[in-house]
């Protein structure tokens, strides 16, 4: 009789209300990811005063608007465990994805010694740091989430954060803040051709 009651209680756990259908690891990682997003948004607010280029300011505003909606969507999903009012959006970057390859000699860099030395190059580096850490935290939170809606919100947000980081990289690259060296042509071809496709029909 006791075993039967215990079994009924265990199976009953799957019928929990949505707002309490979260595991412990999920909540720890969600808390860390959302906290990181808050920190990133606050850092954007601080860095904005140092940005000079109107194009960079515009990109920062576009990111802040998108991240604000993302924050509201994640927080609502965490609180309710259900589909959020505003589903995960798709971030569309303004930069064209033309990459400049090769290295041009430049002055060695050193840390700024005063706030007056913080320039657009510094700001884009800070933005990249924020986005990289958020992409990692959201990925870990998605992998630990037991609630299917929260898992999907975290997972679907990662490509958007990656897109924002790629947009920052393209801006950095265009202004030679971030140069991209290449391998010699022969070495590049060896790497590109180092894997071959599987021949024949794919397994079902």
Instruction: Please give the pLDDT value at position 19.
Output: 62
Instruction: Give per-residue pLDDT as tens, 100-150.
Output: 999 998 888 899 999 999 999 999 999 999 999 999 999 999 999 999 999
Q: Cα-flanking dihedrals φ and ψ of residue 180, to 5°? A: -120, 100
Instruction: Please give the pLDDT value at position 83.
Output: 92
Q: Any long-range contacts for 174-177 (C-beta under 8 Å, 24+ apart)?
A: 174/95, 174/98, 174/100, 175/120, 175/121, 176/100, 176/104, 176/106, 177/120, 177/121, 177/124, 177/125
pTM: 0.85
Distance of CA 137 to the CA centre of its chain: 8
Percent of the chain exceeding pLDDT 70 equals: 89
All structural domains of the chain with their residue ranges: 22-96+116-192
Paired tokens of 176? 């030679």
Instruction: Please give the pLDDT value at position 16.
Output: 59
Question: Residue 6: which pLDDT band, with cuts at 50, 70 and 90?
Answer: very low
Neighbours of 189 (CB within 10 A): 11
Q: Cα-flanking dihedrals φ and ψ of residue 102, to 5°? A: 105, 165
Residue with tokens 């999920």: 26
For the domain spanning 22-96+116-192, the CATH number is: 1.20.1260.10
Query: What residues contact residue 17 under an 8 Å CB cut-off, 6+ apart?
Result: 81
Instruction: Please give the pLDDT value at position 23.
Output: 87
Instruction: Give per-residue pLDDT as tens, 62-89.
Output: 999 999 999 999 999 999 989 999 999 9
Instruction: Please give the pLDDT value at position 14.
Output: 54
Complete DSSP assignment for 140-189? HHHHH--SHHHHHHHHHHHHHHHHHHHHHHHHHHHTTSS-B----HHHHH
Region 184-190: mean pLDDT is 94
- Between the CA of residue 179 and those of 27, 122, 140, 169, 191, what are the distances in Å? 39, 15, 30, 10, 21
């Amino acid at each position: 009789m006791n075993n039967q009651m215990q079994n009924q209680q265990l199976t009953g756990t799957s019928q929990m209300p949505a707002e309490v259908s979260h595991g412990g690891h999920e909540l720890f990682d969600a808390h860390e990811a959302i906290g990181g997003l808050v920190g990133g948004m606050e850092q954007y607010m601080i860095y904005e005063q140092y940005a000079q280029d109107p194009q960079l300011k515009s990109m920062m505003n576009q990111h802040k608007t998108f991240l604000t909606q993302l924050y509201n969507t994640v927080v609502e999903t965490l609180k309710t465990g259900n589909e959020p009012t505003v589903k995960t959006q798709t971030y569309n970057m303004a930069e064209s994805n033309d990459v400049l390859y090769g290295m041009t000699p430049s002055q060695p860099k050193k840390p700024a010694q005063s706030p007056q030395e913080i320039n657009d190059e510094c700001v884009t580096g800070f933005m990249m740091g924020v986005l990289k850490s958020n992409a990692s935290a959201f990925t870990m939170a998605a992998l630990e989430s037991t609630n299917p809606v929260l898992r999907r919100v975290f997972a679907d947000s990662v490509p958007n954060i990656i897109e924002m980081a790629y947009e920052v990289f393209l801006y950095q690259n265009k202004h030679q803040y971030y140069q991209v060296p290449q391998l010699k042509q022969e070495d590049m071809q060896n790497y590109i051709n180092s894997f071959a496709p599987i021949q024949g029909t794919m397994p079902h």
